[in-house]
Amino acid sequence: MHRTLFLIPHEIGPLPLFGIGWLLILLGAGFFIRMVVAHRQWVASQNTIPTSESAGDQAKTSLPRPPSPAEVLKTEGWFWLLAGIVVAVFLPNAELQNVDGQPVGLAVRSYGAFVVMGLFSAIGLAMYRAKQRGLPPETITSLIPWVFVPGIVGARMFYVIQYRQDYIQDNFIDTLKRMASFTEGGLVVYGSMIGGFLGYLIFSRIYRLSMLRMGDVLIPCLFLGVFLGRIGCLMNGCCYGGACEPSALSVQFPPNSPVYKEQLASGSLLGMQIEPETNRIDEVQPSSVADTLGITAGQTFERGNFDPRTRETADRAIPEEDVPLGWGMQISGRYFYLSPDDLPAKANPVVAAQVISSLTALVLCISLCVLDRFIAKDGVLLFSGFAGYAVIRFILEIVRVDEGGQLGTSFSISQWVSMVVFALCLTALAIVLRKKPNSDSLVTP
């Protein structure tokens, strides 16, 4: 796990980098240079008086007249204004703070980086596959915003709705900021599929593309993106599996990771087995942290929480989230304190569900690319891909423990969605297999 790739410093020299600082100055300089260039090009075009011969040549070539500064401002002004607002307002609010609430820098998250890499990899593969079918690669670039934006919104909405209790803050602005922090994790693949698919349907209607034929082009690319996105989950410490013995398919996460905190709160990290309903300690593992503290079976685990006393001596140059915290717990009326050095260096092993999910997505991507050579009917590859992922996701949810049962069952929300998707795909496959083989064109008449 390596949640933050690097931290962009808050300030360089006498000025901050974000807000009213260096980046805004550079943006202003870029805007000034753009307007100066536009003015010079426009003046040069106005000062050029063509002769009758040159005028005829100009008419033949139909060279466009450079836009005036006013026209440039009208067409590009919104972009510069939006960029200025982002730099001056949004980026400072996205900076991490130290324990005193002072900004220390902007974190570039591993999760967001791998999501971006997955996006560009999927785009590259989609352009290659489209070109093989005689479709201009520009069609894929035109499709990107129609799929990516609804996909991200859908993925985030799916997650926020599922864990809505974790996103309600003291006021609306803080709640909105918390919901929008998707680069730190919290995107659901099924949500992205639903949102992206809706955007794709609209795009297909506008550009008169065959939905099934184009879907066959895109479906392997989706799982290439999932392959890299799940590596981002591993780096972020989310989407983990259940406890297991150490093996090649297990992973141990560091302090401050979600699974570390979960194991600490449950007592398992310290060697205790606690009955959830009564909080009675049923078992204490020999030579564990709890055993060395003198905790015995039969005692009652009354409460446990992170102790903030290390915040007083914390390094003010690091983000608050990176400050190691101690752990305090009260057991049968006695209080125990464990400093960060007294706590285990890593969490207990859990199933590396992220790695398994990543590898299965890559296998699915390659399998679909190979299978594509032997399929002659539109939509078969598309619905086979979705059906295959539904089966894989249903099985993976068995080893994952970060999602609870829904609708009064032990099935997670993703398993319920998988069952619905699988049933719909089987129905769709039964329909498309009865149709005639596809033609060469991706554009509908």
Residue pLDDT, tens place only, 82-109: 999 999 988 898 889 998 889 999 988 8
Q: What is the mean pLDDT of residues 415-428?
A: 92
Using CA atoms, how far residue 355 sits from 110, 251, 325, in Å, is 15, 9, 29
Residues 222 and 259 in one domain: no
Q: In which region does residue 407 sit, left (phi positive, over 0), alpha (psi from -120 to 50) or beta (all else)?
A: left
Domain membership of residue 228 (yes or no) is: yes
Structure confidence by residue, pLDDT tens digits, 191-244? 888 888 898 888 888 888 888 888 899 999 999 999 999 999 899 888 888 888
Tell me if 2 is assigned to some domain. no
Domain co-membership, 403 together with 265: no
Same domain for 257 and 225: no
330 and 223 in a common domain:
no
Range of the domain at 321: 253-338
Is the Cα torsion angle 139, 141, 146, 151 positive or negative in sign? Answer: positive
* pLDDT-above-70 percentage for the chain: 87
Do the domain assignments include residue 399? yes
Q: Are residues 246 and 171 in the same domain?
A: yes
Q: How far apart are CA 403 and CA 262, in angstroms?
A: 13
Tens digits of residue pLDDT in 32-55: 998 999 888 888 877 765 555 555
- Residue that finishes a domain, picked among 71, 94, 117: 94
Report the pLDDT averaged over residues 153-160.
81
Q: Tokens 């608050």, residue?
A: 320
φ/ψ bin of 37: left (φ > 0), alpha (ψ from -120 to 50), beta (otherwise)? alpha
Instruction: Give start and end residues of each alpha helix (H) in 86-188.
Output: 91-94, 110-132, 137-162, 172-180
Question: Does any domain span residue 3?
Answer: no
Residue 175 corresponds to which tokens in the numbers above?
A: 């709640």
Kindly state the tokens that stand for 100.
Answer: 């005193």
Mean pLDDT to the nearest integer, 356-385: 92
Q: Rounded CA gap, 196 and 185, in Å?
A: 18
Q: What is the pLDDT of residue 354?
A: 92
Per DSSP, 90 falls in state I
Q: How confident is the model at residue 408 (pLDDT cuts 50, 70, 90)?
A: low
